[in-house]
């Protein structure tokens, strides 16, 4: 009965497409995807991002909330004591069964034949890293064997176990009566790139903590592992600094309601850690610093109009020793607040006009023998900043301009490529890597840019190792980041704008290089999008279709 109703629904849907196709507003890519749509809606248990090696058999096994449990394997080194894992077991139990009641310990479990009763999680390395932080060198690999009567998830470290739990939850599907099933499966998996990031911008619009946490949760569903927190910029300074509280007091949109307190920041970092996600803050200087100037007098360069100060300010003033004293103290605090070895120092889009107008700067330029080359002044500043940060931070990331302008960089600096069309960024990636630097790509993944149609396909096709270079050069590409700049984004539209479009980037950065079939991707991503929706994430649709469990609002 239910099945025939579904069939009628599908037929109605198909009729709808036939009609829609008569209109010209559906572009070519949509038509290709269209043919696959009915398959997508019917198929479940689809994996995203696709694991490196998967073998799913036709043997299906039932599981139910009363008998199934996720447990530590006896051999595991992590044991009951790893709260990160216990927390993840609870989370994934709920993702698999919704709010269904879980088995109460002590009660006897009713188990039927051909039923999956247990997922045993086995951390194989002596150091599980349960209490540590993920890093760029973390082992994220795992192996998953689903068979009756129990499934085994093996990982050297907790980070791989977290990914394996996500994959396990994706394998579970609902039959037409709503019963949960999983097929007997073998998976061996690891990421193609070590750095798989999302940039969120909390300066142009303040993002409530709740939205940031929801995003971290969704990142884990997509196996992203870096939250690049573009926390301050020209419009506002919401970071509450213990050393310089006046920065947010004066520079935030509101000194109490629109700030991130030390407790907020701690919560974001811990929430990320529990999901294997690093939090890398960006404190962009010397440009993009208008909001810094409100609370820190003499930090920014006074601009001149003719022979008089105009009352406006430009980039950080690079000629004062007070600037460097401030930066030393500020970044010392940052290194104690954010545990990650890396920090993003920005360095993009420095506007030279204010520096040019200022007579003191001109005098300094003469003394230093910089002539009229303001790139040299910028380099002078960045050089000093890098020296300061090198004393407190293991590694740093910078936007590509710093490299382009010829600043001397420590050999382990990570260059973030963000400019240009395909031709431009490919030659930049080639240049950066031929100079021996590690690099990250973002140019094709500015998800704040939107257009009509299935733009995820373009994001999906871009590949960070697709440029002219040697094998050694390709190895210097450690990943990429999808960026969501905040001019037109706040809590009202962040999540649907980012997801599932960022999922396309997630698969490019995780799965094997030859996973490029756009039709297969469409089918799996459609299911994955519905999965995010079912988990309460308002991820926008890819195209005309439906989800078994539609989004019901908040
Ligand atoms: C799972 O098993 C069922 C039949 O038992 C089969 O129809 C289905 O195709 C299998 N799923 C996958 C993804 O192979």
Whether the CB-CB separation of 351 and 288 falls below 8 Å is answered with no
Q: Whose CA is nearest to atom 8 of ligand 1?
A: 58
Give kind and range of the element (H or E) at residue 143: strand 142-146
Cα-based angle 317, 318, 323 (whole degrees, multiple of 5): 70
Whether the CB-CB separation of 124 and 156 falls below 8 Å is answered with yes
pLDDT at 190: 98
Single out the residue of 328, 334, 344, 322 nearest to residue 391, CA to CA.
328
Name the pTM for this structure: 0.91
pLDDT at 36: 45
Q: Whose CA is nearest to atom 2 of ligand 1?
A: 58
How far is ligand 1, taken at its centre, from the CA of residue 96, in Å? 18
List, as one string, the DSSP characters of 455-514: THHHHHH--TT-SS--HHHHHTEEEEEEEE-STT-STTTHHHHHTTHHHHHHHHHHS-TT
| Mean pLDDT within 521-548 | 96
Written as six digits, the tokens of 471 are 């094998």
Whether 20 has a pLDDT exceeding 70, the answer reads no
For the CA of 59, the nearest atom of ligand 1: 5
For the stretch 265-276, pLDDT in tens is 999 999 999 999
Whether 228 has a pLDDT exceeding 80, the answer reads yes
Whether 7 has a pLDDT exceeding 80, the answer reads no
Q: Is the peptide bond before 149 cis (omega within 30 degrees of 0)?
A: yes
| Mean pLDDT within 368-391 | 94
- Cβ neighbours, 10 Å, residue 536: 12
- Cβ neighbours, 10 Å, residue 7: 10
pLDDT at 8: 43
For the CA of 57, the nearest atom of ligand 1: 14
Question: What is the band of 76 on the pLDDT scale with cuts at 50, 70, 90?
Answer: confident
Whether the CB-CB separation of 228 and 481 falls below 8 Å is answered with yes
Written as six digits, the tokens of 52 are 């490196």
Whether 110 has a pLDDT exceeding 80, the answer reads no
CA distance 214 to 219: 9
Annotated active-site residue 550? The verdict is: no
| Mean pLDDT within 337-341 | 97
Whether the CB-CB separation of 445 and 508 falls below 8 Å is answered with no
Ligand 1 contacts (CB < 6 A) are: 45, 56, 58, 60, 183
CA distance 286 to 320: 13
How far is ligand 1, taken at its centre, from the CA of residue 45, in Å? 9
Whether 524 has a pLDDT exceeding 50, the answer reads yes
CA distance 29 to 50: 22
| Set 31, 325, 349, 487: catalytic member | 349
Q: What is the mean pLDDT of the chain?
A: 90
Residue written as tokens 């999302």?
Answer: 198
Give the β-pairing of 180-189 and 53-63.
antiparallel
Question: What is the band of 552 on the pLDDT scale with cuts at 50, 70, 90?
Answer: confident
Question: What is the band of 80 on the pLDDT scale with cuts at 50, 70, 90?
Answer: low
Give kind and range of the element (H or E) at residue 364: helix 359-368
CA distance 481 to 395: 17
Tell me how far CA of residue 451 lies from CA of 32, 496, 537, in angstroms: 18, 14, 22
pLDDT at 101: 56
Written as six digits, the tokens of 359 are 């007579």
Whether 410 has a pLDDT exceeding 90, the answer reads no
Give the β-pairing of 438-441 and 414-417.
parallel
Among the listed ranges 65-69, 78-82, 304-308, which one has the minimum average pLDDT value?
A: 78-82
Q: Ligand 1 test: best mutation among 58, 185, 527, most atoms within 8 Å of CB? A: 58
How far is ligand 1, taken at its centre, from the CA of residue 172, in Å? 11
How far is ligand 1, taken at its centre, from the CA of residue 59, in Å? 7
pLDDT at 267: 98
Among the listed ranges 60-69, 76-85, 158-167, 208-217, which one has the minimum average pLDDT value?
A: 76-85
For the CA of 60, the nearest atom of ligand 1: 5
For the CA of 43, the nearest atom of ligand 1: 13
Written as six digits, the tokens of 520 are 């297969």
Whether the CB-CB separation of 208 and 217 falls below 8 Å is answered with no
Whether the CB-CB separation of 392 and 377 falls below 8 Å is answered with no
Written as six digits, the tokens of 366 are 């003469």
Q: Whose CA is nearest to atom 9 of ligand 1?
A: 58
For the CA of 46, the nearest atom of ligand 1: 13
Question: What is the band of 16 on the pLDDT scale with cuts at 50, 70, 90?
Answer: very low
pLDDT at 27: 45
How far is ligand 1, taken at its centre, from the CA of residue 501, in Å? 28
Whether 302 has a pLDDT exceeding 90, the answer reads yes
| Mean pLDDT within 487-513 | 98
pLDDT at 98: 84
| Mean pLDDT within 321-329 | 98
Tell me how far CA of residue 350 lies from CA of 16, 44, 289, 346, 401, in angstroms: 52, 49, 10, 10, 9
Whether 163 has a pLDDT exceeding 70, the answer reads yes
- What are residue 314's phi and psi, to 5 degrees? -110, -150
Full 3-state SS string of 374-386: HHHHHHHHHHHHH
Q: Whose CA is nearest to atom 1 of ligand 1?
A: 58
- Mention every residue, 6+ apart, whose C-beta is less than 8 A from residue 278: 133, 134, 135, 136, 225, 226, 227, 272, 340, 342
Q: Please give the DSSP secondary-structure letter assigned to residue 348.
A: -
Q: Burial-class residue 178 by CB neighbours within 10 Å (0-12, 13-18, 19+).
A: exposed
Q: Whose CA is nearest to atom 4 of ligand 1?
A: 58
Q: Whose CA is nearest to atom 11 of ligand 1?
A: 58
Whether the CB-CB separation of 246 and 292 falls below 8 Å is answered with no
CA distance 365 to 71: 66
For the CA of 45, the nearest atom of ligand 1: 13
Whether the CB-CB separation of 187 and 53 falls below 8 Å is answered with yes
pLDDT more than 70, % of the chain: 89
- Cβ neighbours, 10 Å, residue 114: 11
| Mean pLDDT within 309-320 | 97
Question: What is the band of 112 on the pLDDT scale with cuts at 50, 70, 90?
Answer: low
Written as six digits, the tokens of 416 are 């973030």
How far is ligand 1, taken at its centre, from the CA of residue 60, in Å? 7
Full 3-state SS string of 161-190: HHHHHHHHHHHCEECCCCCEEEEEEEEEEC
Q: Whose CA is nearest to atom 7 of ligand 1?
A: 58
pLDDT at 469: 97
Q: Ligand 1 test: best mutation among 47, 56, 114, 147, most atoms within 8 Å of CB? A: 56
Cα-based angle 89, 499, 199 (whole degrees, multiple of 5): 90
Among the listed ranges 146-150, 267-271, 414-418, which one has the minimum average pLDDT value?
A: 146-150
Give kind and range of the element (H or E) at residue 42: helix 28-42
CA distance 341 to 278: 10
How far is ligand 1, taken at its centre, from the CA of residue 46, in Å? 11
For the stretch 432-451, pLDDT in tens is 999 999 999 999 999 999 99
Give kind and range of the element (H or E) at residue 416: strand 414-417
Tell me how far CA of residue 437 lies from CA of 4, 157, 231, in angstroms: 59, 28, 25
């Amino acid at each position: 009965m239910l099945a025939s109703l579904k069939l009628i629904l599908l037929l109605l849907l198909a009729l709808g497409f036939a009609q829609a196709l008569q209109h010209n507003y559906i572009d070519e890519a949509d038509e290709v995807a269209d043919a696959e749509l009915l398959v997508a809606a019917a198929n479940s248990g689809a994996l995203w991002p696709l694991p490196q090696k998967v073998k799913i058999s036709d043997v299906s096994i039932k599981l139910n909330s009363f008998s199934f449990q996720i447990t530590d394997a006896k051999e595991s080194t992590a044991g009951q004591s790893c709260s990160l894992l216990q927390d993840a077991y609870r989370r994934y139990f709920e993702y698999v069964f919704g709010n269904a009641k879980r088995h109460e310990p002590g009660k006897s479990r009713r188990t039927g034949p051909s039923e999956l009763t247990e997922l045993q999680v086995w951390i194989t390395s002596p150091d599980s890293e349960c209490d540590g932080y993920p890093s760029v060198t973390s082992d994220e690999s795992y192996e998953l064997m689903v068979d009756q009567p129990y499934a085994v998830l093996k990982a050297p470290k907790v980070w791989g176990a977290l990914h394996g739990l996500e994959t396990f939850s994706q394998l579970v599907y609902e039959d037409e009566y709503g019963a949960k099933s999983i097929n007997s499966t073998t998976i061996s998996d690891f990421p193609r790139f070590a750095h798989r990031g999302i940039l969120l911008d909390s300066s142009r619009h303040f993002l409530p903590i709740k939205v940031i946490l929801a995003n971290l949760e969704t990142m884990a569903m997509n196996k992203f592992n870096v939250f690049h927190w573009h926390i301050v910029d020209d419009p506002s300074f919401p970071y509450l600094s213990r050393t310089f509280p006046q920065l947010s007091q004066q520079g935030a949109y509101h000194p109490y309601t629109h700030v991130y307190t030390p407790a907020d920041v701690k919560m974001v970092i811990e929430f990320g850690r529990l999901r294997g996600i690093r939090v890398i803050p960006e404190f962009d200087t010397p440009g993009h610093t208008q909001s810094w100037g409100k609370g820190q007098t003499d930090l920014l360069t006074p601009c001149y109009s003719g022979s008089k100060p105009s009352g406006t300010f430009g980039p950080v003033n690079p000629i004062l020793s007070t600037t460097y004293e401030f930066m030393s103290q500020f970044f010392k605090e940052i290194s104690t607040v954010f545990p990650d070895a890396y920090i993003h120092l920005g360095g993009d889009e420095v506007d030279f006009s204010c520096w040019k107008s200022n007579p003191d700067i001109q005098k300094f330029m003469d003394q230093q023998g910089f002539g009229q080359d303001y790139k040299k002044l910028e380099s002078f500043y960045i050089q000093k900043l890098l020296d300061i940060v090198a004393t407190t931070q293991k590694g740093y990331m910078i936007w590509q301009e710093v490299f382009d302008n010829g600043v001397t960089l420590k050999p382990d600096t990570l260059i973030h490529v963000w400019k240009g069309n395909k031709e431009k960024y490919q030659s930049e990636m080639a240049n950066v890597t031929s100079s021996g630097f590690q690099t990250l790509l973002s140019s094709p993944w500015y998800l704040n840019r939107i257009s009509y149609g299935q733009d995820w396909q373009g994001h999906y096709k871009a590949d960070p190792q697709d440029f002219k270079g040697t094998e050694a050069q390709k190895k210097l590409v450690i990943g990429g980041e999808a960026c969501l700049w905040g001019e037109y984004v706040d809590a009202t539209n962040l999540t649907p704008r980012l997801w599932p479009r960022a999922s396309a980037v997630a698969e490019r950065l995780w799965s094997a290089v030859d996973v490029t079939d756009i039709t297969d991707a469409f089918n799996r991503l459609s299911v994955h999008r519905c999965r995010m929706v079912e988990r309460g994430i308002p991820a926008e649709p890819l195209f005309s279709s439906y989800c078994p469990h539609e989004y019901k609002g908040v």
